[in-house]
Amino acid sequence: MAWDVKGMKSLTVVFLNLANVLVILFLTVPLLALVFASVQTERTLIGHYMDIIPRELTSVNFEVIMGRPVPAMWSIPKAIIAFPRAFGNSLIVATSVTLLTLVFGSLMAYAVARLRVRWTQTMMYVNLATRLVPIIILMVPLFVTLRRLQLLNTLPGIIVTEVGFLLPYAVWILVAYFLSLPGELEDAARIDGCTRMGCLLRIVLPLSAPGLAATAVIVFLISWNELLIPLIVTSKQEMMTVPVLLSTLVSDFHVYYTLMAAISLVGLLPSAVLALLLQKYVVRGLTAGALKG
């Protein structure tokens, strides 16, 4: 009986390790395909698309998206020269959206978690309901509103819109984390004369670093990869973000596979760096509410 239990445990460990390997392969194989496509010319990729290992290696795609003129490229879309600016626009938008969402989301989440009144719970359900509405349905009224506010074709217009759409995510995550923190610390601070805002700034937020980091990563990733909002809000090339630029490389006559692969790889860098820097906080922040009690 003891051997059977030990044998079952060993089989379970083997099965879990095999499952982990399969999941890792499932996630990394598309990335490897992206890497291989980015280091080939368009002619080679289309002519030998069944080859697993590239027949040639070249850096021409990365040189093109960085603005270097490359005579070897027979056809380069005009929009590709805007990649450095589009990358900068994406950084500005994603960073601003993340910071503003954390600020307003922290205030809203703290009110919901600590102020036991009916309207806070109602607001939470309203927040949830807003995420059930497809964004495409709201594009016409959004366009009209931004036009009246003179925010079309501007980065602030994109930032304000994305903050409004991403606030519910931040509030739901942070409410769960704030509820996992002991309220006795704040009660003691209130007795010593600390205000609600002082409790939030001096006690709650410093203890909520994992929750804030998890929220920041999620919001940054969503904002960085957002296509529909920048596509609707802006029409000028100088205001394009990376996802919008990628969409312009797909036309009725040609798809620039290798250039898209190179842009996608470079576009992965900010998200990957942020996730690696904050990875130790993310799991703690996302599981805090589930582990409470």
Query: What's the rounded Cα separation, in Å, for the pair 66 and 63?
Result: 5
pLDDT of residue 160: 94
- According to the model, what pLDDT value does residue 33 have? 86
The two tokens of residue 139 are 């594009």
Contacts of 285 (CB under 8 A, 6+ apart): 173, 177, 210, 211, 212, 213, 214, 215
Residue 158 has pLDDT above 90, yes or no: yes
Mean of pLDDT values over 86-107: 95
Instruction: Kindly state the tokens that stand for 83.
Output: 């990649």
Instruction: Give pLDDT, residue 78.
Output: 77
Listed residue (107, 116, 120) closest to 197, CA to CA: 107
Give the global pTM: 0.86
- For the segment 40-66, the average pLDDT, to the nearest whole number, is 84
* Contact indicator for 161, 167 with CB cutoff of 8 Å: no
Which superfamily, per CATH, for 82-256+266-287?
MetI-like (1.10.3720.10)
Q: What is the reported pLDDT for 94?
A: 96
The pLDDT, as a whole number, for residue 200 is 86
User: How many other C-beta atoms can be found within 10 angstroms of the C-beta atom of residue 178?
Assistant: 24
Specify the pLDDT at position 6.
Answer: 66
Q: Give the pLDDT of residue 86.
A: 94
pLDDT at 109 over 70: yes
Does pLDDT of 289 surpass 60? no
Share of the chain above pLDDT 70, in %: 91
Q: pLDDT tens digits for 167-208? A: 988 998 898 888 888 888 888 888 888 888 888 888 888 888
pLDDT of residue 293: 41
Percent of the chain with pLDDT over 90: 28
Q: What are phi and psi of 51, to 5 degrees?
A: -75, 130
Is 68 a residue whose pLDDT tops 90?
no
Of 30 and 97, the structure prediction assigns the larger pLDDT to 97
What's the confidence (pLDDT) of residue 286? 59
pLDDT of residue 4: 61
CB 44 within 8 A of CB 56: yes
Q: Are 75 and 254 in contact (CB under 8 A)?
A: yes
Half-sphere exposure of 185 (CA within 13 A, CB side): 15
Report, in angstroms and rounded to the nearest whole number, the Rg of the chain calculated over CA atoms. Answer: 24
Q: What does each C-alpha distance from 256 to 60, 90, 261, 263 come to in angstroms?
A: 13, 21, 9, 11
Q: Which helix (H) or strand (E) holds 15?
A: helix 2-38
Per-residue model confidence as pLDDT tens digits over 112-136: 888 777 777 787 788 778 778 888 8
Residues 140, 143, 144, 146: is their CA dihedral positive or negative? positive
Q: pLDDT-derived band of residue 155, with 50, 70 and 90 as boundaries?
A: very high
| Cβ density class 119-150: b for 16+ within 10 Å, e for less | ebeebbeebeeeeeeeeeebeeebeeebeeee
Q: Which position has the token pair 């460990």?
A: 13
